[in-house]
Structure 1
Amino acid sequence: MKLSTTLKALGLAAAVALAPLAAPAQAAGTVTVAIALDPGSWDPIDTFVVDWSSAANNIFDGLTARGADMKLKPGLATSWEFLDNNSRIRFKLRENVKFHNGEPFNAEAVKFTFDRLLGPEGKKGPQQSNYNSIDRVEVVDASTVDFVMKQPDPVLLTKLAGYGAMIVPPKYIQEKGDDYFNTHPVGTGPFKFVSYEPKVSLTLEAFPEHWGGAPKLDKLVFRMIAEANTQIAELQAGRIDIATLIPFGLAPTVEKDPKLSLISITGPTVVALRLNTQNGITKDVNVRKALIMGIDRDAIIKAVLLGHGKPIASFQADLSFGYDPNLKPLPFDLAKAKQMLQQAGVQPGAPIKIDFRGNDATFREVAQAAAGFLQALGLKPSLQPYETPVLLNDIIPNGKTGEAWHNAWGGWTFDYDNTAYLMYHSGEKWNPYDKDPKLDAMLEKQRSIYDVKEREKILQEIARYVADNALEIPLYNQNTIYGVNKRLKNFEPPADRRFRFTDVTVE
């Protein structure tokens, strides 16, 4: 099977390797990171893009924190307890903490942050819906707050460690206004804002008074570089220290450079072909299982991802809460798959259409490879690329897909609920075809439970149920890949790209 795009990418890698290396080295005490996108606002409630958190995770703190080791720990709250049959969560707050502008952090700042997030200002952005389980925040005293809950939310403590829940300074925002805060952020994190040039760079400097200890670096610079080959050329030239856009085909270029390290670790992103259970040949569950068995996922991982990924049995990474190590993918078995299609009465040359995001060069190769396997099954596959907004906002939610469609999903919470509820519950945007009362009941039940073991058991049952019903072809969990200058020391690569540079040093 010819995977032409991979070969082109490898050719590009050779060209990039010849980039000039005569640029000046980074200044001592400064680390420069390339991110792909400018989020357009540094206000925590305004965005959900990962590149926001790559930078802003160093400006802001949440009540809880989660490091590269994935373990939840105290942040601006030192402890928490559940009261009144779990309808109230009481947080004890860290004392003697200051925002970068000298404003004190206290219970009023927490209340202001969540009143704002859950109010009209938060409604303008994409983060409010992640925290709608909170009814209100009540101040108990200067260092204690209660979260009064509308409903249980077993993922809330993790969600408080990132994005919309980052604590913001009341007086500063009230005096300067929301528009100014968007481009001049102030938090309690280990680095403070210096300057921002839209679509070019964000510069931060160490905040020596940080409650967790002063950073060991003097300065952080985040450069917005949308082109992967440009990021790699800048990395090789020594003008950036970390590249976050490393296409699989260019990974060998970084790996071979003696000044650089290629870091490839399990990340949150999983990729599948979701299946239309209402129309076409995929209406039959046995046909859906035959399609899974007819595609060699290991071959795709090896040829397209160059090994930077692993097969999956459910739509989640093995770092996900709810992952079941005992659930194994259906094996690749072309002969068995053909037999199952025959038994299901599928005629040779039956059509099967795959809809996918046309701007995703990697998945275009995956789709071509999958189509080759489906053709070997005796089917007539066709590939339909769409502009990403059209596919995500029209074709999928309105049930206008072909038999299969491209679904890539991350989720920094690493909790299967974040995926499963949105993918499989009746009426959800990403579930245009299925209404399954049994599955709905399981999804709803786990959301009402704080007991970790009981909830994990239900999430694993959901994954098995989805696999038994073959609602998708689980393809792979792709690695998070970084290119890093070897002059960085004590750098812990986060799976979710939420960097925290407090302990990093440079030679």
Structure 2
Amino acid sequence: MQNLGRNLRAMLLAATAMAAPALAPAAFAAGTLTVTLVQDPGSWDPIDTFLVNWAKVGNNVFDGLVQRGPDMKLAPGLATSWEQSEDGKRIRFKLRENVKFHNGEPFDAEAVRFTFERLLGAEGAKGPQQSNYNAIDKVEVVDATTVDFLLKNPDPVLITKLAGYGGMIVPPKYIQEKGDEYFNTHPVGTGPFKVVDYQPKVSVTLEPFAEHWGGKPKLDKVVFRFIAEPSTQVAELQAGRVDIVTDPLPISAIPIVNSDPRLKVESITGPTVQALRFNTRTGITKDETVRKALIMAVDRDAIIKQMLGGQAKPIASFQSELSFGYDPALKPLPFDPAKAKQLLAQAGVKPGAAVQIDFRGSDANFREAAQAVAGYLQAVGIKSILKPYETNVILNEIIPAGKTGEMFQQGWGGWTFDYDNTAYLMYHSGEKWNPYDNIPELNALLESQRSMTDRSKREKVLQEIGRVVADKALEMPLYNLNAVYGVSKRVKNFVAPPDSRLRLTDVTVD
């Protein structure tokens, strides 16, 4: 297993060297920051996505009523203040005045109402964000600078949710005039940067919005380049054609970046977790005993140490220790290949039985982990077929449609730092990321905690959800990976965000 890690790291090093043989640094454009993204989200509409790669751009183009900085603290955004009724069913927001969208359209209470009616209506139903906000019954306009959110039941995570993704405020007149499809590729928000050019699968270019309520950004331009291949990203960073390789920088590339005096590595504990989830409907993994055997066959501590260079922590449930609902008493099934063989025999699985492992082909870190998992499974008599997919394909066509193999990669940012945002979407029946399971016990627990206002009681329910998932072995928890960035030293005032959602207002370049 150690040789496997060395070989894969050597391959990446060689690929990087081949991609950039003796290239001198490119001439830097004055005031321009260039950033890599591994994928093009395909739509810039806030209600169409959950992707972190959307947020790295969208967090600069749009504002929410609430915002959250790299320190993970909530602060006023388009709302200057808010207050909640005693029963938790009404939240009143006072809105920031004299704010404009990029097209000159004024921001007001009607824009807030339109945003959430659209999110909770037919258009929002097409995307993955609606269920995050279904506690909202309606949004009432009190006056031009005041809105009331009337809730069907209290949602203890709602304020945090309003700081990102589906809760970003959009321009009513612009969307009504141009239509949803046009908005997907020509987004307009109130954020510190505006989109001036979008070339699908190539790049998206932003320029500062001089009239932003928080002040004009210091950069002249930001170019996000879509580069799927990790070795190419690193080569472009070395060559001076990009300034930041965003999380995840391949672990194998850390020594390469650190050895270059013009570059540095930024690494911080974040919420991102990785697991191999199980197809519980077909194949040998429909048997709970088999699933537990496969988990016990894999030495996840060794993967973290040897494959990931210690840039990760083991997990027992699909959340990091930063998540509300994390249970320190819950321990992962131990690495025990002898017990794994015994359980496989007990379940009638014969040596040579096969499982297919689906994963995102562009994820270099997970590619190494998947290779290691395959090696461990081989040691207990299970043949692994590794099947890489283009990221958008596995996320939009394979997982939601229930077309996976026996095991499939699920990476999750847990950006609310609350287990609800992960668990509800992963384990509640009917959700996009739960193509196989309908477990009444889990449905009931997930629904009950959403209306709880007692923080300690709600935490206990979230911990119980984690235990049920672990007991039923719905996934093989792997690790909580650090947020790791490769950064040119010409970049100043860049603070690596734990949640990977960039906000570039104060960044400058030499």
SS in 1 for 2:12: helix
SS in 1 for 2:132: helix
Measured in 1, the distance between the counterparts of 2:121 and 2:216 equals: 34
Matched with 1:90 is 92
Matched with 1:105 is 107
SS in 1 for 2:60: coil
Match of 1:308 among 303, 306, 311: 311
Q: Show the 5 A alignment for 1:33-52.
A: 33-52=35-54
Give a deviation string over 1:455-488, Cα, whole Å, max 9, x none: 2221112212322343332111223321111122
Give a deviation string over 1:290-334, Cα, whole Å, max 9, x none: 443331112222333333322111111222221123323333244
Structure 1 residue 396, shift from structure 2 partner:
6.0
Measured in 2, the distance between the counterparts of 1:65 and 1:495 equals: 15
Alignment: residue pair count: 504
Matched with 1:191 is 193
Q: Is the 8 A contact 1:13 1:249 kept in 2?
A: no
- Structure 1 position 412 matched with structure 2 position 412: no
SS in 2 for 1:78: strand
Structure 1 residue 110, shift from structure 2 partner:
1.1
Stretch moving more, 412-421 or 196-205: 196-205
- Structure 1 position 451 matched with structure 2 position 454: yes
**Aligned-pair RMSD on alpha carbons?**
3.2
Q: Is the 8 A contact 2:315 2:480 kept in 1?
A: yes
Matched with 2:63 is 61
Match of 1:255 among 258, 272, 284: 258
Structure 1 residue 335, shift from structure 2 partner:
4.5
Measured in 1, the distance between the counterparts of 2:192 and 2:400 equals: 41
- Partner amino acid for 2:468? Y
Match of 1:141 among 140, 143, 146: 143
Structure 1 residue 345, shift from structure 2 partner:
6.8
Structure 1 residue 55, shift from structure 2 partner:
1.6
Matched with 2:158 is 156
Q: Call closer, same or farther: CA 1:383–1:38 in 2, change over 3 Å.
A: closer
Q: Is the 8 A contact 1:5 1:361 kept in 2?
A: no
Give a deviation string over 1:203-226, Cα, whole Å, max 9, x none: 333334322233233332223333
- Structure 1 position 439 matched with structure 2 position 431: no
Match of 2:476 among 473, 477, 485: 473
Measured in 2, the distance between the counterparts of 1:248 and 1:38 equals: 22
Measured in 2, the distance between the counterparts of 1:403 and 1:201 equals: 35
Measured in 1, the distance between the counterparts of 2:40 and 2:280 equals: 38
The TM-score with structure 2 as length reference comes to 0.86
Percent identity of paired positions between Structure 1 and Structure 2: 66
- Partner amino acid for 1:257? D
Stretch moving more, 215-224 or 428-437: 428-437
Give a deviation string over 1:365-412, Cα, whole Å, max 9, x none: 4333223323333x3333252756886678766777665444333343
SS in 1 for 2:269: strand
- Partner amino acid for 2:479? Y
Q: Is the 8 A contact 2:37 2:245 kept in 1?
A: yes
Q: Is the 8 A contact 1:194 1:204 kept in 2?
A: yes
- Partner amino acid for 2:317? S
Match of 2:495 among 470, 492, 497: 492
Matched with 1:215 is 217
Structure 2, unpaired ranges of 5+: none
Measured in 1, the distance between the counterparts of 2:360 and 2:506 equals: 40
- Structure 1 position 322 matched with structure 2 position 321: no
Q: Call closer, same or farther: CA 1:151–1:352 in 2, change over 3 Å.
A: farther
SS in 2 for 1:58: helix
Structure 1 residue 493, shift from structure 2 partner:
1.2
The TM-score with structure 1 as length reference comes to 0.87
Structure 1 residue 152, shift from structure 2 partner:
3.8
Q: Show the 5 A alignment for 1:341-356.
A: 344=346, 349=351, 351-356=353-358
Q: Call closer, same or farther: CA 1:347–1:32 in 2, change over 3 Å.
A: closer
Q: Call closer, same or farther: CA 1:474–1:486 in 2, change over 3 Å.
A: same
Stretch moving more, 421-430 or 247-256: 421-430
- Partner amino acid for 2:70? A
